[in-house]
Amino acid sequence: MSETAELVAVLRAAGETTRLRLLALLADGEQSVKDLTEILGQSQPRVSRHLKLLADAGLVRRNAEGAWAYYGLADEGAGSDLARWLVGRLGEADPERQRDRLRLAAVRAAQQAQAAASFAKVADSWDLLRSLHVAEEAVEVAILGAVDGRPIDTLIDLGTGTGRMLELLAGHYRRGVGIDSSREMIAVARSKLAAAGIGHAQVRLGDIADLEPATGRGELIVIHQVLHYFDDPGRLLGQARQALRPGGEMLIVDFAPHGLEFLRTHHAHRRLGLSEAQMAGWARAAGLSVAAFSSFPPTNATEGLTVCLWRLRDDPRDQH
Ligand X SMILES: C[S@@+](CC[C@H](N)C(=O)[O-])C[C@H]1O[C@@H](n2cnc3c(N)ncnc32)[C@H](O)[C@@H]1O
- The answer for 287, left when phi > 0, alpha when psi is -120 to 50, beta otherwise, is left
Minimal distance, residue 189 CB to ligand X, in Å: 9
Toward ligand X, which CB reaches closer, 134 or 288? 134
Toward ligand X, which CB reaches closer, 219 or 231? 231
Toward ligand X, which CB reaches closer, 57 or 115? 115
Toward ligand X, which CB reaches closer, 154 or 215? 215
Contact range with ligand X by CB under 6 A, out of 62-70, 160-168, 244-252, 284-292? 160-168
Q: Do the beta carbons of residue 67 and residue 85 sit within 8 Å?
A: no
Minimal distance, residue 58 CB to ligand X, in Å: 32
Candidate list 146, 156, 166, 208; residue touching ligand X; CB under 6 A: 208
Toward ligand X, which CB reaches closer, 62 or 192? 192
Give the list of residues 6+ apart from residue 55 with CB closer than 8 angstroms, or none: 61, 62, 71
Binding of ligand X by 278 (CB under 6 A)? no
Candidate list 31, 32, 154, 160; residue touching ligand X; CB under 6 A: 160
What does the DSSP assignment read for 146-157? HHTT--EEEEEE
Q: Do the beta carbons of residue 181 and residue 236 sit within 8 Å?
A: no
Under DSSP, is residue 66 helix (H, G, I), strand (E, B) or coil?
coil
Under DSSP, is residue 184 helix (H, G, I), strand (E, B) or coil?
helix
Contact range with ligand X by CB under 6 A, out of 102-110, 159-167, 242-250, 271-279? 159-167
Candidate list 58, 159, 218, 273; residue touching ligand X; CB under 6 A: 159
Candidate list 72, 79, 161, 287; residue touching ligand X; CB under 6 A: 161
C-beta atoms surrounding 62 within 10 Å: 16
Toward ligand X, which CB reaches closer, 152 or 236? 236
Longest alpha-carbon distance in the chain: 71
Binding of ligand X by 207 (CB under 6 A)? yes
**Nearest residue to ligand X, scored by beta-carbon proximity:** 161
- The answer for 13, left when phi > 0, alpha when psi is -120 to 50, beta otherwise, is alpha
Contact range with ligand X by CB under 6 A, out of 10-18, 154-162, 244-252, 295-303? 154-162
Minimal distance, residue 142 CB to ligand X, in Å: 14
Minimal distance, residue 159 CB to ligand X, in Å: 3
Minimal distance, residue 104 CB to ligand X, in Å: 15
Minimal distance, residue 199 CB to ligand X, in Å: 20
Candidate list 108, 130, 190, 245; residue touching ligand X; CB under 6 A: 130
Q: Do the beta carbons of residue 133 and residue 305 sit within 8 Å?
A: yes
* Interface with ligand X in residues 227-246 (CB under 6 A): 229
Angle between helices 95-122 and 17-27 (to 10 degrees): 50
Binding of ligand X by 209 (CB under 6 A)? yes
Candidate list 30, 100, 167, 180; residue touching ligand X; CB under 6 A: 180
Under DSSP, is residue 246 helix (H, G, I), strand (E, B) or coil?
strand
Residue 314 belongs to what H/E stretch? strand 307-314
Q: b/e string for 36-49 if b means 16 or more Cβ within 10 A?
A: bbbbbebeeeebbe
Total residues contacting ligand X (rule CB under 6 A)?
21
Q: Do the beta carbons of residue 52 and residue 91 sit within 8 Å?
A: no
Residue 252 belongs to what H/E stretch? strand 244-255
- Which residues contribute to the site for ligand X (CB under 6 A)? 115, 119, 130, 159-162, 164-165, 179-182, 185, 207-209, 224-226, 229
